[in-house]
Chains A and B, each alone.
Chain A
Amino acid sequence: MSSTEPSSPTRRRGRAGAASALVALALALTTGGCAATADEPSTAGSAVPGAVPADDLTRRLAAVEAARQCAVTTTTFPDETALTTDLDDRLAADGLSHAQWKEWHDALVHSPDLVAQLVEVSAPGCAGA
């Protein structure tokens, strides 16, 4: 609701609306006009436009990604394509495709639920780490 609606019926409500608008302006200036400030963790909030909800499929993708992230720093790859081959092999072992992973990976940046799910899946850490 906008507090400066021209249809406000009374002068009192109009003053209150003007005051609220000033407060909103001041808050907007101090926070940069963004609902999420730079100080907030990026995983905060869930009502993000375009956000992808977490489900069983995204959990499986998160599990593959978590396992890969654990293995990648202890593995050498003979050539550039071997990095993708390793990912694709892991995905295929769980009946998943690279396209599904890419879509999920691209959605992470605007999907707090996916990030929270990935964090949860990764929480046990890497075996032997």
Chain B
Amino acid sequence: MAVLLGAVLGATLLLPAATAQADQDKSNVRATTTSTAPLASGESAWVAVSWTADQTVHDWSTTVTAPAGVAVAYPTTRGGGDTSLYGSATLVGATTDFTAFRLAVPHAQRTSFPVTVTSTYSRCGDNGQCKDQGIGNDGRTGSVTVTVTVPVGPAAGPPFTQDTTRVSITAGSDGFQQLSFTGGQADLADFRVQVGALPAGLEVAYPGGRTASSPAGGSGLPGRRTDQVGLRLVATGLAPGTYTLPLSISWTAAHPTTTNGTVTLVVN
């Protein structure tokens, strides 16, 4: 019995060392990617960084620091101040999960750049779980910071696509018609559409009394998103038939650009 008690007391005396060992972060949280998906100059998009760990960690939070000119945004569901893992804030040990964030690359950014990604986490859940794992106040949280490369290349494909190429109206009508456009890979600023030479009997007006029409969602046409521009067609003097209306479409990417387009107007 005395020997047993001695062993017990000996083990108890080792308690501080054992607790200190438990306080060491052995979760081995680490990023499994060194670069994000490539972005184009002028593109804004969500990208992801993957993480894994040997042990389960909780309350995951990630923030990203990017070079000047590159804007970072986080999910609105978390208030916009940080991002977390997809589906939960827990990274289960031995599994992989990712954090997503939005990067807006300026048109002037032509080369790859690094972002600093910092993730913080709790090694145990609530106070009871921390106590159960022998983790004191000082060891409850951990963090890891990695540098991830964001490859950048030129935008591929056309700067935008004109989705609406044909509009039908009734003779003598006066109303707004919507022309739909979808952005290419990069964001286009100051996107404007103006109708050129008009057939006799047709007048065109623009929203707000302006000289051209901009997308309904804002002045620009974001990459890979669809928006509409409104044209008021006053056809009170236009005979039934099919007309080709010339369009002047302008935007600013790396520099201001204007191109010509057409829309077919069918008057019934």
Chain A residues within CB distance 8 Å of chain B: 15, 19, 22-23, 25-27, 29-34, 37-39, 41-43, 69, 72-80, 82-83, 87, 102, 105-106, 108-109, 115, 118-119, 122
Contact = CB atoms under 8 A, between A and B. Distances in A.
B37 A38 contact: no
28 contacts: A15-B1, A23-B4, A26-B11, A29-B12, A32-B22, A33-B131, A38-B55, A38-B134, A38-B135, A41-B55, A41-B93, A72-B50, A72-B98, A73-B37, A73-B98, A74-B37, A75-B48, A76-B38, A77-B100, A78-B45, A83-B48, A83-B100, A106-B88, A109-B92, A115-B93, A118-B95, A119-B94, A122-B96
Nearest to B55: A42
Nearest to B139: A38
A69 B134 CA distance: 33
Interface string B133-157: 1110000000000000000000000
Contacts, number: 129
A29 B134 CA distance: 8
Contact of A30 (B18, B93, B97): B18
A37 B86 CA distance: 27
A76 B39 contact: yes
Name the interface size band of chain B: 35 or more
A105 B195 CA distance: 53
A100 B134 CA distance: 35
Contacts of A118: 95
B43 interface: yes
Nearest to B58: A109
Instruction: List 4 A-B pairs, minimum CB-CB distance, nearest first.
Output: A32-B134, A42-B93, A76-B45, A78-B224
Given A37-B22, A39-B26, A83-B46, A30 B11 contact: yes
B37 A75 contact: yes
B223 A78 contact: yes
B8 interface: yes
Given A19-B4, A78-B223, A39 B22 contact: yes
A119 B95 contact: yes
B225 to A, nearest CB: 6
A61 to B, nearest CB: 12
B257 interface: no
B94 A43 contact: yes
A83 to B, nearest CB: 6
Contacts of A69: 50, 96-98
